A and B are shown apart, each in its own frame.
Chain A
């Protein structure tokens, strides 16, 4: 049986009486690449803030590699690295200086600092830009610098909070490669995203959160199987887009043939977005069904 890296049980967080995270329970195995999906405002970032000790839960319990996030804060902090959703580099410093600050805060010796920084700059292909001020490099480079910074203490667990938001398609693929590489190198990855294709491309298992509640949990393929592997999209005047799901193409074709006067019909493989639509009636990016 594999050991658990994250154990969340009955986690809730309230702000002024409003539940932002509501009775969340899930676990992530060591070495797993887990996707935490949901639209903006679903409670993903609040959950990450609790998992990383920045915010205290209202109720429930979270263990990171066996350490309680409320009671063993110092031990928890030594276990993880994080790439936050927003740019969180010190913009008065160069890329290398940002890494050095982090290495100092994680008590690396001067020799180890030097070696580790050079190693990580090479890992994220930023060696040539090490001495550039943060504002003088592109968005993708900043994101890679944040990944390098997160890896400084050789963390067993990596939190990636929307790591590719705002990046172009090419840079996003590059970051995906890095995420796979980090996971292959042994790190457990907890990835939050509202990009469905990102979760499908990277994650072995995913949880879907909506209004603070976990509404689905499992392997992407299993979640798709539950609603049907084939999706039929119907666009009819006045009613917006309607979705129907079928276990196979034959059943979907049969359904389409029986449709009266629908204007546009498309048959395709279902995805995690469809799982979300089926469970919530909304698209992940917020459109109503």
Chain B
């Protein structure tokens, strides 16, 4: 029943996405392609990191970044609009379904959007960096990254009191992660103190896992575990937040 109810919630968002998917696909590719051009080709041309070209190094980082932003926005912005603008979230709260089914359904649209965007970028990136390896471990990491940041989006949307709050949250939390989460540089290049601080960011672990999987390096299982811990924490907090909404 949980799966069926979650799919029912997801179904509505899929219908809306299907209605405008070409526009979605184009807009979702703009940022990562610009990052690729600016950092991969522009700034990073000629840089070599431990035997890997900077282009190959940066592509998995940009994929992690794309998964983060599109999942967060796909689930969070959508829910924020449903809750505060369309006011249709109350209808879901009054429906005879469990709250965790409702939240999972709301998060899954972020996962779908995150995976579509990441795969679309991957296709573009593989044209210029064909050595990127996409195997089951890479896809597993991508899925967990999308799920984690979708639930962060759901949590933010449930806590937000206005549309501006979502923007503020993105500026305070997502923007620093974008540049500091091991996406564009190796953590071995930063001072020890900062390095430990950066390990507290979920994007750091998404970047580490996806990069290792894409470059056929030994997998950092601890990073996958940390991502799962973040996923559980965000999901649990979202559940508490939605329960508190009725007080």
Nearest 8 interchain pairs by C-beta: A92-B16, A104-B8, A105-B95, A77-B96, A88-B87, A101-B12, A90-B88, A78-B96
CA distance A244 to B237 in the complex (A): 58
- Is the pair A104, B87 in contact by a Cβ cutoff of 8 Å? no
Partner pick for B92 among A56, A80, A105, A149, CB 8 A cutoff: A105
Interface members, chain B 1-34 (any A CB < 8 Å) = 4-5, 8-9, 11-12, 15-16, 19
Determine the chain A residues whose CB is within 8 A of the CB of B90 once the complex forms: 54, 84, 88
CA distance A107 to B95 in the complex (A): 10
- Give 10 A-B contacts (CB < 8 Å), ordered by A residue: A77-B95, A84-B90, A87-B87, A90-B86, A90-B88, A92-B19, A102-B95, A104-B11, A105-B9, A105-B92
Taking the nearest CB of chain A, how far is it from the CB of B157, in angstroms? 15
Closest to B7 in A: A104
- Is the pair B86, A105 in contact by a Cβ cutoff of 8 Å? no
A86 within 8 A of B: yes
- Is the pair B94, A53 in contact by a Cβ cutoff of 8 Å? yes
CA distance A84 to B89 in the complex (A): 12
- Is the pair B96, A107 in contact by a Cβ cutoff of 8 Å? yes
A52-B94 contact, Cβ under 8 Å, with A88-B87, A92-B19, A105-B8: yes
- Is the pair B93, A54 in contact by a Cβ cutoff of 8 Å? yes
Taking the nearest CB of chain B, how far is it from the CB of A87, in angstroms? 7
Partner pick for B91 among A74, A78, A88, A91, CB 8 A cutoff: A88
A147 within 8 A of B: no
Determine the chain A residues whose CB is within 8 A of the CB of B233 once the complex forms: none
B97 within 8 A of A: yes
Determine the chain A residues whose CB is within 8 A of the CB of B88 once the complex forms: 88-90
Taking the nearest CB of chain B, how far is it from the CB of A211, in angstroms? 22
Interface band, chain B = 20 to 34
Binding site for A on B (CB under 8 A): 4-5, 8-9, 11-12, 15-16, 19, 82, 86-88, 90-97, 246-247
Partner pick for A54 among B9, B12, B86, B246, CB 8 A cutoff: B246
Partner pick for B5 among A52, A105, A149, CB 8 A cutoff: A105
Instruction: Give the total of A residues in contact with B, Cβ under 8 Å.
Output: 27
CA distance A102 to B94 in the complex (A): 10
Taking the nearest CB of chain A, how far is it from the CB of B119, in angstroms? 23
Taking the nearest CB of chain A, how far is it from the CB of B204, in angstroms? 34
20 additional contacts, CB 8 Å, given A55-B246, A80-B94, A97-B15? Answer: A52-B94, A54-B90, A54-B246, A78-B96, A87-B87, A88-B87, A90-B16, A90-B88, A93-B16, A101-B8, A101-B12, A102-B95, A104-B11, A105-B5, A105-B8, A105-B96, A105-B97, A106-B95, A106-B96, A149-B91
Taking the nearest CB of chain A, how far is it from the CB of B198, in angstroms? 38
A74-B15 contact, Cβ under 8 Å, with A91-B86, A101-B8: no
Determine the chain A residues whose CB is within 8 A of the CB of B96 once the complex forms: 74, 77-78, 105-107
Question: Interface code A8-43, partner B: CB below 8 Å = 1, 0 otherwise?
Answer: 000000000000000000000000000000000000
Taking the nearest CB of chain A, how far is it from the CB of B148, in angstroms? 25
Closest to B85 in A: A91
Could you say which of A82, A107, A149 has the most chain B C-beta atoms within 10 Å of its C-beta? Answer: A107
Determine the chain A residues whose CB is within 8 A of the CB of B15 once the complex forms: 92-93, 97
Closest to A80 in B: B94
A56-B95 contact, Cβ under 8 Å, with A84-B90, A88-B88, A88-B90: no
